[in-house]
Amino acid sequence: MATLPMAPHAAAISSFTTRPLYSPSSRSHRLLLARFFSAAPAPALAKGLRATASAVEVGGVKIAREDVVKEDDPTNNVPDTIFSKIGLQLHRRDNHPLGILKNTIYDYFDKNFTGQFDKFDDLCPLVSVKQNFDDVLVPSDHVSRSYNDTYYVDGQTVLRCHTSAHQAELLRDGHTHFLVTGDVYRRDSIDSTHYPVFHQMEGFCVFSPDEWSGSGMDGTAYAAAELKKTLEGLARHLFGAVEMRWVDTYFPFTNPSFELEIYFQDDWLEVLGCGVTEQEILKRNGRRDHVAWAFGLGLERLAMVLFDIPDIRLFWSNDKRFTSQFSEGKLGVKFKPFSKFPPCYKDMSFWINDAFTENNLCEVVRGIAGDLVEEVKLIDNFTNKKGMTSHCYRIAYRSMERSLTDEEINNLQLNVREAVKDKLKAELR
């Protein structure tokens, strides 16, 4: 992922979820109010894409397709592929790697903080722009607010892009210790570790002045020390006796902010992002004079290493050869690939226009090929004398479950080319 220079308030952050909220993965920082991706029927629905149900229920809230996918509304950029994931709640399946991981983290908090943490895993992913951004102090010009990075249902409503969206309301409801697990949604490029829907767990813990008064530390230092102790314990609970390090970073809602990394399988792996909650958030939500710590971790990222799962699309598989390998309470059982099907690469070159972004391209490709697309990668890029810029992308098609036929792939590629022409207004070369 490209690292771009950023405004000081949005300094580059390294990733701890499958994609960091506050690092600039997008090429364009402008608000792109155009609808690049229509939910109009895809020319050929890839085999394996299930027909979309017309309504689902999450946490007692009924969500109909029309509530989320609004083809004619220029302030909406939610495609059917995304609507089809709402309500699946992989993290609530006890036999699924994400559910197993969630429960193992619950066990850690239950054992070390018995009865203290309230758990939420069924909060509706449709939230207001205020909840997702304003309430956690995300600056008004921050890149994560752009239509290129976030799924907007309308100008005031988004599919949450992080579980931090629930911090303020839970605080206001009187909760002081909580864990929030949920599906989160981000527009992004395509490769084996990125998927536009993934799962996070948020932790939050408030301290009152009497808790740190005798410690010889100020509130912030006390919360930071408690945070580090708690999360080092969690990392050992999940990974065993590993080497760890703390890396300073930036989030709009915490200060100081850190990432925890562990040395695992010969590499440093970011496990989570965290920090001491900004006073302003506590003050606005009824906890003036208190301090708090917060963390957010990406469940897929951890599950991929703990269970040896090589591709993020597998989490969504209903194939028995995947699902039957995991069972409740068994963290870290190594996944055995049922077979490795060959990838097929197709290149396409086109002249881009000013509105072009890689995220839009990826959405178009995903709209046609669904989970049969493994990677979309820029392999060549030049600007001619007239100032026209050409991009060449290599698309890798590969099923996790079966071999694809040449005919099928050629068809997909043909449809992708048409869609790139129609929807992105790119001129194919």
Residues that bind ligand PHE (CB under 6 A): 17, 20-22, 162, 164, 202, 251, 254, 273-275, 294-296
Q: CB-wise, 164 or 357, nearer to ligand PHE?
A: 164
The nearest distance, CB 12 to ligand PHE, in angstroms, is 13
Q: Centre a 10 Å sphere on the Cβ of residue 245 and count the other Cβ atoms it contains.
A: 11
Number of residue whose CB is nearest ligand PHE: 296
We find the least distance from the C-beta atom of residue 108 to ligand PHE, in angstroms, to be: 17
The CB-of-65 to ligand PHE minimum distance in angstroms stands at 27
Distance, in Å, from the CA atom of 170 to the CA atom of 342, rounded to the nearest integer, reads 47
DSSP string, 88-104: --GGG-TTSHHHHHHHH
> What's the min distance (Å) between Cβ of 203 and ligand PHE?
8
**What minimum distance in Å lies between the beta carbon of 282 and ligand PHE?**
13
CA–CA dist 179, 156 (Å, integer): 26
Residue 294: CB minimum distance to ligand PHE, A: 4
Pairing of strands 118-120, 177-185: parallel
Minimum CB distance to ligand PHE, residue 21 (Å): 3
Q: Which is nearer to ligand PHE, 294 or 395 (CB)?
A: 294
Burial of 43 (0-12, 13-18, 19+ CB in 10 A): middle
Q: How many degrees, rounded to 5, is the angle at CA 198 between CA 298 and CA 226?
A: 20
- CB of 89 or CB of 254, closer to ligand PHE: 254
End-to-end CA distance of the chain: 25
- Phi, psi torsion values for 31, nearest 5 degrees: -75, 125
| Closer residue to ligand PHE (CB): 20 or 97 | 20
- 24 Ramachandran zone, left/alpha/beta (phi>0; psi -120 to 50): beta
- The DSSP bridge partners found for residue 157 are 128, 154
C-alpha–C-alpha distance, residues 77 and 185, integer Å: 12
- Closer Cβ to ligand PHE, 290 or 423, answer by number: 290
22 vs 195, beta carbon nearer ligand PHE: 22
The answer, yes or no, to whether the previous bond of 252 is cis (omega within 30 of 0) is no
Nearer to ligand PHE, 22 or 207 (CB): 22
